[in-house]
Amino acid sequence: MITKRLPLLLFTFFILSAGYAQKMIGTETETQKEKRMEWWQDGRFGMFIHWGLYSGAARHEWVKHNEKIDNAGYQKYFDQFNPDLFDPQKWAREAKEAGMKYAVLTTKHHEGFCNFDSKYTDYKAPNTHAKRDLVREYVNAFRAQGLKIGFYYSLLDWHHPDYTIDDIHPQSPADKSDTAYARLNKGRDMAKYRQYMRNQITELLTNYGKIDILWLDFSFPRKDGHGKGKDDWGSVELLKLIRKLQPGIIVDNRLDLGDYKDGADFVTPEQVSTAELAKYREQTWETCQTFSGSWGYYRDENSWKTHRQLLDLLITSVSNGGNLILNVGPTARGEFDYRATAALDSIAHWMHANSTAIYNCTYAPDNYTIPENTKLSYNKATKRLYVFLYTYPENGKLILPGYKGKIRYAQFLNDHSELLYKASEKNAEDLVVTLPVKKPDYEIPVVQLTLE
């Protein structure tokens, strides 16, 4: 019986699952999407900025959750907030010099505090010693540097009176029973909170000119009902609103709309190792990474990544067809920490000479073998292949396996100095590039190959 029906069953399953994957919220075609995403994919490198009241606590942006602080206990950070050294032009210059093409600033993080002047709350920067809309100043400064403008907006809100207490709320009950949650959530109304979010996102996407990216964070649906996902946020309607207000905008994938083909523009592997990045090749992606572990300013954190690790993140992202957004957590005074500035300066030095191997680049076609101790990137339009020299060959020889007849010219990218090459004596299919004894003054030098 079953075997007789199997083909029909399979057919039905196929049709249903195909229909499922095709579920659409809007009507955009693939080609239109590609066009909309073009600048972002070409740019490859952005700056994330996490800044809020938690910067004053200086021990993680989740401090309110981690230490189970309530609104009254958190008030001191609001009262003390006084970013007297905030100079967004300086931030924008540092981003620009590091070669970043866009930035994304927290307009509101999980703590609920708004860096912008919202009509719908008093819990905002203009009501602190800052006395002004910090988001507006960020927008003006970054736009003046030619950088694209992104807003991060937290879907979570641990301050709002209507936001229901869930599994990760700072006031989450120790007793995880439904009755315990019900008792705590009496009088809280997510419908009102949804409206609050819609109102604020409308403000953000109406009052600041063209916004290029919206980074919404995040969904955590739970089987027991004490998480939050698309129905809690009203995600479908929210995304429609966003696209209506800013038709060109690029939106991340944290609205819990995985059922929809157009429920997100890119995936967001967070703090993953470089080894993991290869698996995202088939998708549109941006890895978000910190300098030292937390996103908000954390004074005592000592796990800062080295210059080499940061370059590796950038290079590995591009060599797998993705973007990197690197986070800075400014201090409560509004400055980049000296360690962040030093890291950005080193990146600026490298990017000044080597950014051609980053912008407009992606992974190399399969017929180019990756030479030993290197990674590759590729610019389709200019037909150039870039070899990142992770270990500078001690014998001055770079072997290009199977490259015979495939290249026309070789040079260092940093100074465009010619590199001579010839067929290998050991294997006629291989080429051997002669490198100078002295490694160029870059942690990871780049060889540019002009392809046949």
203 near ligand GLC, rule: CB under 6 A: no
CA distances from 159 to 231, 362, 408 (A): 20, 42, 61
User: Closest distance between ligand GLC and the C-beta of residue 154, in Å?
Assistant: 7
DSSP for 15-71 reads: HHHHHHHT--SS---HHHHHHHHHHHHHH-EEEEE--STHHHHTB-TTHHHHTT--H
User: Closest distance between ligand GLC and the C-beta of residue 273, in Å?
Assistant: 16
Half-sphere exposure of 380 (CA within 13 A, CB side): 8
Contacts of ligand GLC in 386-445 (CB under 6 A)? none
- Complete edge-to-edge strand list for the sheet that includes strand 446-451: 374-379, 384-389, 446-451, 407-412
- For ligand GLC, the closer of residues 252 and 443 by Cβ is 252
User: Closest distance between ligand GLC and the C-beta of residue 66, in Å?
Assistant: 11
User: Under 8 Å CB-to-CB from 177, ≥6 apart: which residues?
Assistant: none
Quick one: which of 61, 212, 256, 286 contacts ligand GLC (CB under 6 A)? Answer: 61
- For ligand GLC, the closer of residues 122 and 300 by Cβ is 300
Scanning the structure block, which residue is given the tokens 């008030």? 75
- For ligand GLC, the closer of residues 295 and 442 by Cβ is 295
Cα–Cα distance for residue pair 337/349, rounded to 1 Å: 19
- For ligand GLC, the closer of residues 291 and 403 by Cβ is 291
Quick one: which of 157, 203, 217, 232 contacts ligand GLC (CB under 6 A)? Answer: 217
Q: Look up residue 316 and give its two tokens.
A: 């590995």
Quick one: which of 288, 444, 446, 449 contacts ligand GLC (CB under 6 A)? Answer: 288
- 3-class secondary structure, 314: helix
Report the b/e string of 280-308 with b at 16+ CB within 10 A: beeebbbbbbbbbebbbbbeebeebbebe
Quick one: which of 295, 297, 368, 388 contacts ligand GLC (CB under 6 A)? Answer: 295
- For ligand GLC, the closer of residues 325 and 385 by Cβ is 325
Phi and psi (nearest 5°) for 405?
A: 80, 0
265 near ligand GLC, rule: CB under 6 A: no
- For ligand GLC, the closer of residues 288 and 311 by Cβ is 288
Cα–Cα distance for residue pair 424/63, rounded to 1 Å: 59
User: Closest distance between ligand GLC and the C-beta of residue 121, in Å?
Assistant: 20
Asked if the bond preceding 86 is cis, omega within 30° of 0, the reply is: no
- For ligand GLC, the closer of residues 197 and 410 by Cβ is 197
Quick one: which of 39, 120, 218, 304 contacts ligand GLC (CB under 6 A)? Answer: 218
270 near ligand GLC, rule: CB under 6 A: yes
| Interface with ligand GLC: number of residues (CB under 6 A) | 8
Q: Name the burial class of residue 380, with classes exposed (0-12), middle (13-18) and buried (19+) by CB atoms within 10 angstroms of its CB.
A: exposed
Instruction: Give Rg (Cα) of the chain.
Output: 25
Helices (H), 286-438: 307-318, 338-354
- For ligand GLC, the closer of residues 61 and 335 by Cβ is 61
- For ligand GLC, the closer of residues 123 and 295 by Cβ is 295
90 membership: H or E segment, kind and range? helix 88-97
User: Closest distance between ligand GLC and the C-beta of residue 295, in Å?
Assistant: 5
Site for ligand GLC, rule CB under 6 A: 50, 61-62, 217-218, 270, 288, 295
